[in-house]
């Protein structure tokens, strides 16, 4: 399917660290996250070396291999346990397609490839999220026939994570203690 559209979805090769790092940096910049070239290179090395808890698939222009490969999109995903009936769930953590290459079915092909990886891994479900304001992503998922879930996602950043670990509360101030009800 994707070969006819000028791209293939596959795992990145060890020699493709530089284009993978470039794509990861573009993804972070797209989401307004400042990232250095060194950070992106370290993330690519972690993914390619098998030292990251996530797996990676990329959409690459057809027939292109290192160093000529033109990376068009990326999916980062990992199994989670437990899901329903204690089965693994494949969680799609990141899905990104370069803005200038959108509308070619790249996101759909990446999601389908992750779904195949989920089945191959014994997962019976796959989950992911989209930012509330990302109407384009939500429309793409709806066009794929994916139903919106009923879960709310919570996020704790670096400073809040340290507070949560130290105090059990992620905010700047401690939670108010509830008084026991009168007998």
Kindly list the domain boundaries of the chain, sorted by start residue: 2-128
Pick the CATH number of 2-128 from 3.40.50.10490, 3.90.1300.10, 3.40.50.620, 3.40.630.30: 3.40.630.30
Supply the pLDDT for residue 66.
46
Backbone angles phi, psi at 85, to 5 degrees: 55, 30
> Quick one: tokens of 106?
């790249």
- Nearest-Å Rg of the Cα atoms of the chain is 19
Q: Which residue has the higher pLDDT, 4 or 5?
A: 5
Q: What share of the chain is helix, strand, coil (3-state, %, to 5)?
A: 40, 20, 40
My answer on whether omega of the bond before 67 falls inside 30° of 0, hence cis, is: yes
Confidence of residue 176 (pLDDT cuts 50, 70, 90): low
Tell me how far CA of residue 52 lies from CA of 2, 77, 78, 128, in angstroms.
Answer: 27, 10, 10, 18
From its phi and psi, is residue 79 left (phi > 0), alpha (psi between -120 and 50) or beta?
A: beta
pLDDT tens digits for 22-70?
A: 999 999 999 889 999 999 999 999 999 988 889 999 999 976 554 565 9
pTM, full prediction: 0.83
Mean pLDDT within 122-148: 90
């Amino acid at each position: 399917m994707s070969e006819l559209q000028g791209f293939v979805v596959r795992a990145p090769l060890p020699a493709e660290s530089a284009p993978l790092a470039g794509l990861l940096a573009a993804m972070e910049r797209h989401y307004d996250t400042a990232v250095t070239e060194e950070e992106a290179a370290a993330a690519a090395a972690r993914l390619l070396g098998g030292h990251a808890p996530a797996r990676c698939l990329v959409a690459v222009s057809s027939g292109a291999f290192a160093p000529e490969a033109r990376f068009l999109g990326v999916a980062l995903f990992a199994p989670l346990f437990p899901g329903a009936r204690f089965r693994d769930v494949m969680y799609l953590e990141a899905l990104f397609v370069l803005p200038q290459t959108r509308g070619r079915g790249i996101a759909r092909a990446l999601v389908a490839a992750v779904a195949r990886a989920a089945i191959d891994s014994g997962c019976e479900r796959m989950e992911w999220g989209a930012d509330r304001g990302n109407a384009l992503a939500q429309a793409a998922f709806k066009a794929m026939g994916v139903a919106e879930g009923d879960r709310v996602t919570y996020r704790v950043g670096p400073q809040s994570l340290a507070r949560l670990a130290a105090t059990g509360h992620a905010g700047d101030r401690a939670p108010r203690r509830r008084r026991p009800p009168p007998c």
